[in-house]
């Protein structure tokens, strides 16, 4: 017995449709597939992501190659695929051969260029990452020419086709002062890049992109040619502030529907007498005779241990507290008063059951983290089940 993840891929399509409506027809919509598709399960989500996004953004080479494998297997038209994370020279050779765009963020691009030139295959398609204020990857605007001096020697092995940046502070705020400063740094960096390419006699037409979900939704001047949406494609708002800003900026709040539901079967129900302790550390003591249900899910599966003593699950449409500590492979919940609760019932850990709902945001609150971490930490080992609609729980044998 194990918990499983249900995926409503129609919601994924609808969310991308909503985002398309927001950014308008002149801006392409790219979906971010990193983190095992934000924990949803890359293999299960990929057909829908491929069908409904214009570009797919991976963090690792292997994710990008998984897209190409799916296309080959199903005879699909190849989509633009971009690796936004770091890669090794040997990965660059494979990515060039697969016609995947790589993001070059520092002088190590020179090693990739050498490897690609030596391999003698197709050129490496490159987007240049500019660090405009996150202090993560990318060239500072004033270092573009020196940081990319090696392009002069790369010859035909490298083609610079785009430029990007990433915002530091668009989710936690309702005023975008930092983002506006980053946009002007981006402008300076783009000018420096174009000047450098011109000096090298290279093409200067560049695809520009900067916006993740929050800026794509609430900062129109950040959208450029294409937006890179992650969390919102999966039906989650980046933050409450983004939702509030969307109402102000767009006049309406787009409808985002969570793609993911997480369920677990009840493996046992029993009554323990008043005074019993529950779980490791004896952190919970039952004040009355208590019907406890044991669920085969724990922190190994991504159920946060910090939610111990705070979390709820849904059983038969009722909220049931998690008693005591979250264990590696188990949680124990209080089903006292849930009429008929029994082995085989399906508990909902995240998602809807009848009128009740547990959101990733709520679980993040219990675990003192953000919903991004809640979903991306869902175990890759959990079974993914594609469902037509978020199904109502039914008993399993």
Ligand X SMILES: *Cc1c(COP(=O)(O)O)cnc(C)c1O
Residues with a catalytic annotation lie at: 34, 280
Cβ-proximal residues to 231 (8 Å cutoff; 6+ apart), any chain? 38, 213, 237, 238, 371, 372
Q: Any contact of residue 213 with ligand X (CB under 6 A)?
A: yes
Cβ-based nearer residue to ligand X, 98 or 103: 103
CB 347 → ligand X: shortest distance, Å? 28
CB 337 → ligand X: shortest distance, Å? 39
Q: For ligand X, which residue of 20, 40, 68, 166 counts as binding (CB under 6 A)?
A: 166
Q: What is the pattern of x (binds ligand X, CB under 6 A) and - over residues 79-108?
A: -----x------------------------
Q: 71: helix, coil or strand?
A: helix
Residue 244 phi, psi dihedral angles, 5° rounding:
-60, -45
Closest residue to ligand X, based on beta-carbon distance: 230
Angle at the Cα of 80 from the Cα atoms of 78 and 82, rounded to 5 degrees: 130
Site for ligand X in 215-234 (CB under 6 A): 228-232
Cβ-based nearer residue to ligand X, 85 or 365: 85
CB 1 → ligand X: shortest distance, Å? 32
Cβ-based nearer residue to ligand X, 82 or 332: 82
Beta pairing class for 260-265 and 383-387: unpaired
CA 176 – CA 169 distance, rounded (Å):
8
Q: Any contact of residue 65 with ligand X (CB under 6 A)?
A: no
CB 233 → ligand X: shortest distance, Å? 7
Q: Any contact of residue 212 with ligand X (CB under 6 A)?
A: yes
Q: For ligand X, which residue of 133, 147, 235, 238 counts as binding (CB under 6 A)?
A: 238
Cβ-based nearer residue to ligand X, 189 or 238: 238
Question: How long is the chain?
Answer: 397
CB 238 → ligand X: shortest distance, Å? 5
Burial class (CB in 10 A: 0-12, 13-18, 19+), 272: middle
Site size with ligand X, rule: CB under 6 A: 13
Cβ-based nearer residue to ligand X, 84 or 115: 84
CA 14 – CA 190 distance, rounded (Å):
34
Cβ-proximal residues to 360 (8 Å cutoff; 6+ apart), any chain? 236, 258, 260, 350, 371, 374, 375
Q: Any contact of residue 246 with ligand X (CB under 6 A)?
A: no
Q: Which residue, chain included where needed, has tokens 């500590």?
A: 325
> Given its phi and psi angles, is residue 285 left (phi above 0), alpha (psi -120 to 50 degrees) or beta?
beta
List interacting residues with ligand X (CB under 6 A).
32, 34, 84, 166, 212-214, 228-232, 238
């Amino acid at each position: 017995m194990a918990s499983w993840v249900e995926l409503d891929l129609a919601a994924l399509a609808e969310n991308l449709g909503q985002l398309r409506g927001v950014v308008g027809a002149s801006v392409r919509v790219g979906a971010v597939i990193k983190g095992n598709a934000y924990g949803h399960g890359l293999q299960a989500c990929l057909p829908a992501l491929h069908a409904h996004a214009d570009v797919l953004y991976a963090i690792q080479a292997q994710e990008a190659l998984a897209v190409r494998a799916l296309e080959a297997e199903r005879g699909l038209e190849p989509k633009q695929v971009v690796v936004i994370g770091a890669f090794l020279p040997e990965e660059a050779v494979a990515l060039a051969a697969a016609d995947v765009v790589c993001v070059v963020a520092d002088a190590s691009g020179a090693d990739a260029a050498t490897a690609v030139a030596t391999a003698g295959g197709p050129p490496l398609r490159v987007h240049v990452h500019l660090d405009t204020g996150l202090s993560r990857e990318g060239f500072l605007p004033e270092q573009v020419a020196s940081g990319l001096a090696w392009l002069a020697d790369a010859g035909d092995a490298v083609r610079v086709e785009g430029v990007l940046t990433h915002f530091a502070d668009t989710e936690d705020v309702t005023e975008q002062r930092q983002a506006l400063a980053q946009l002007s740094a981006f402008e300076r960096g783009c000018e420096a890049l174009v000047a450098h390419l011109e000096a090298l006699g290279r093409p200067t037409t560049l695809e520009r992109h900067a916006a993740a979900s929050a800026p794509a939704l609430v900062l129109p001047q950040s959208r450029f040619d294409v937006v890179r949406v992650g969390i919102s494609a999966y039906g989650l708002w980046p933050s409450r502030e983004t939702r509030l800003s969307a109402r102000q900026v767009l006049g309406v709040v787009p409808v985002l529907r969570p793609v993911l539901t997480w369920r677990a079967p009840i493996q046992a129900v029993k009554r323990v007498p008043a005074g019993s302790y529950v779980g490791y550390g004896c952190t919970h003591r039952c004040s009355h005779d208590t019907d406890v249900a044991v669920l085969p899910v724990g922190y190994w599966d991504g159920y946060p241990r910090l939610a111990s003593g705070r979390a709820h699950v849904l059983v038969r449409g009722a909220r049931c507290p998690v008693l005591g500590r979250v264990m590696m492979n188990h949680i124990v919940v209080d089903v006292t008063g849930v009429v008929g609760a029994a082995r085989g019932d399906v508990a909902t850990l995240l998602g809807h059951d009848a009128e009740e709902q547990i959101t990733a945001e709520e679980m993040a609150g219990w675990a003192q983290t953000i919903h991004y971490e809640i979903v991306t930490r869902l175990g890759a080992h959990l079974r993914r089940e594609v469902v037509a609609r978020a199904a109502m729980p039914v008993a399993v044998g």
